[in-house]
A and B are shown apart, each in its own frame.
Chain A
């Protein structure tokens, strides 16, 4: 029973062509996160939502945007993907921001050509 679902699992996009990744959850968690993970590196937090409150990390490029239209769904928009944006993008949810474990989706592998 998948609880955090990411679509698509694999996405190929052209350099500079906008792309949207999606995430849905059945856990009814308040917090949703987007992480970027490159090969053999730690997941890096891009931003998170606490309910509708958006929190951007200071070093997240402006090229990355997010939307959370309701509790269940969250989207990651990359406005003009560059070659350096090729990575695994991970969506996660948690019940609260303080001390609660995060549950991850299976990720979307983004390739930029």
Chain B
């Protein structure tokens, strides 16, 4: 069973059409949840870290929220330059050293 599931796999929006991307996770204890943006052929670019339920972070047209089982990345009035794959990753809280576990991402296309 995947620990991190992102939906939808792909999303096509008109410029200005707001929407949300979902990241659900099944780790028993969350140390941190991370959102990244990845452009084609490039490495992921860090966006946000969320640590506890109820936490919110914002950057320009993006807002990330966190509950006990999922996170949303809200995109308000998107522009074509927001087109990218958005990756979610979680780190489980335990006594050992746990790496980030990534979801497969949501591929966002914003059409002018």
In the complex, number of A-B residue pairs with CB atoms less than 8 Å apart: 58
Given the contacts A98-B31, A101-B49, A42 and B103 also touching, CB distance less than 8 Å: yes
B53 at the interface (CB under 8 A from A): no
Instruction: Give complex CA distance A55, B51 in Å.
Output: 25
Q: Which residue of A lies closest to B88 (CB)?
A: A42
Q: Which residue of A lies closest to B49 (CB)?
A: A101
What are some 12 contacts across the A-B interface (CB < 8 A)? Answer: A6-B43, A42-B104, A44-B102, A88-B41, A98-B97, A101-B32, A101-B49, A102-B34, A102-B100, A104-B43, A107-B42, A107-B43
Q: Which residue of A lies closest to B39 (CB)?
A: A106
Of A40, A90, A101, most buried by chain B (CB within 10 Å of CB) is A101
Q: Is the CB of A99 within 8 A of B43?
A: no
Q: Which residue of A lies closest to B30 (CB)?
A: A99
A52 at the interface (CB under 8 A from B): no
Q: Is the CB of B104 within 8 A of A97?
A: no
Contact with B along A81-113 (1 / 0, CB 8 A): 000000010101000011101111111010000
Residues of chain A whose beta carbon lies under 8 Å from any beta carbon of chain B? 4, 6, 33, 40-45, 48, 50, 55, 57, 88, 90, 92, 97-99, 101-107, 109
In the complex, chain B residues whose CB is within 8 Å of the CB of A98 = 31, 91, 97
Q: Is the CB of B105 within 8 A of A104?
A: no
Instruction: Give complex CA distance A6, B43 in Å.
Output: 10
B87 at the interface (CB under 8 A from A): yes
Q: Is the CB of B104 within 8 A of A103?
A: no
Q: Is the CB of B31 within 8 A of A90?
A: no
Q: Is the CB of A105 within 8 A of B43?
A: yes
Q: Which residue of B lies closest to A57 (CB)?
A: B99
Q: Is the CB of B42 within 8 A of A106?
A: yes
In the complex, chain A residues whose CB is within 8 Å of the CB of B49 = 99, 101
